[in-house]
Chain A
């Protein structure tokens, strides 16, 4: 294997690790499966690395691959015994869990939001993730392969649903 190519790949993953981390966490409710999904995304990114088309932003290309892999992974029926420590070997991880009051509040809101995202179907989940990443409607349309108008309509529907969900609390 070309060592230089691998170094460039590792550097690229490092720069965009947040994308992988967020997608893995949104599509894998089961902690034990996250390591597997992370690996599958990284392998797919590596396999497609040579065919990267620079007409698109690197993040657009990466979102497409990571979301496609995540949806496939999510749709597989996974059965893994619980209690596995495999997540400790994940390549992308949080250095430490926050324990301050501010972090606790953030964690609380994030859990609510993640719970809401988790209840969406696979495609709406992808749409919501991209919206929350503040991607433009044009880029979301490009990643998903639907029209900009459709993106706008769906986002306003999901936002309304989200608002209602949060108002219940």
Chain B
């Protein structure tokens, strides 16, 4: 079929619609047009709750660091926990900015990208959890000190602490490389696709695959 024939079919279809397409005004008016809350607004509320929670946590950690400034090991542990809290907080702020930029009257590719980036938010937390593994002792040190007033560091053997820090520092390098690979840009790589499929939900995977499609569409 040539383009001309195609256009003829469509012109006939258009003519048919012009003649036979009707609007039921009563039905249209019965639609609750003022249905105020949509999915985006509900998501915005969740993200604002996240921002409030992370801000409170950041304030608490800031206070903890200030109180324990003279005890280097507690201050460093606090700074590490604080750093992760700030990354999570900035991620949530970024989501709110994205959500507020979503306007369906804007160009489709731009809006789809923003929506799918919002849908992949879970991936940030997953990456933070992975990234926390080499420094998980910071959480334990801060937690046990704050909740039970037990300074675990003081009870540890100095040799063990040094070995622990060295091993975890070495672990950090492949971990950062691994986490950098976990993006929609690398979905064509089998192990990346499989790993992400395994650790994220289907919603996140769908969003990542669509981000990949959008990028292909833009080329």
Scan residues 1-42 of chain A and give those whose CB is less than 8 A from a CB of chain B. 1, 6, 9-10, 13-14, 17-18, 21-22, 39, 42
A53 within 8 A of B: yes
A89 within 8 A of B: yes
A137 within 8 A of B: no
Q: How far is the CB of B191 from chain A (nearest CB, A)?
A: 25
Docked complex Cα distance between A69 and B84 (Å): 36
Q: Residues of B contacting A22 with CB < 8 Å?
A: 17
Asked if B109 and A75 sit within 8 Å, CB to CB, the answer is no
Q: Residues of B contacting A71 with CB < 8 Å?
A: 108, 112
A-B contact count (CB 8 A): 135
By DSSP majority rule, is chain B's interface helix, strand, loop, or mixed? Answer: helix
Contacts A64-B106, A71-B108, A145-B109 given; indicate if A93 touches B22 (C-beta within 8 A).
Answer: yes
Docked complex Cα distance between A89 and B29 (Å): 12
Q: Residues of B contacting A78 with CB < 8 Å?
A: none
Closest to A51 in B: B105
Asked if A145 and B107 sit within 8 Å, CB to CB, the answer is yes
Interface size of A as a range: 35 or more
Q: Residues of A contacting B213 with CB < 8 Å?
A: 121-123
Q: Which of B2, B9, B33, B219 contacts A46 (CB 8 A)?
A: B33
Docked complex Cα distance between A10 and B35 (Å): 17
Q: Residues of A contacting B219 with CB < 8 Å?
A: 150
Closest to A153 in B: B219
Scan residues 28-80 of chain B and give those whose CB is less than 8 A from a CB of chain A. 28-29, 31-35, 38
Q: Residues of B contacting A67 with CB < 8 Å?
A: 108
Asked if B6 and A162 sit within 8 Å, CB to CB, the answer is yes
Q: Residues of B contacting A13 with CB < 8 Å?
A: 23, 28
Contacts A64-B107, A123-B108 given; indicate if A91 touches B20 (C-beta within 8 A).
Answer: no
Asked if B108 and A94 sit within 8 Å, CB to CB, the answer is no
Docked complex Cα distance between A166 and B10 (Å): 15
B130 within 8 A of A: no
Docked complex Cα distance between A122 and B9 (Å): 23
B1 within 8 A of A: yes
Q: How far is the CB of B37 from chain A (nearest CB, A)?
A: 11
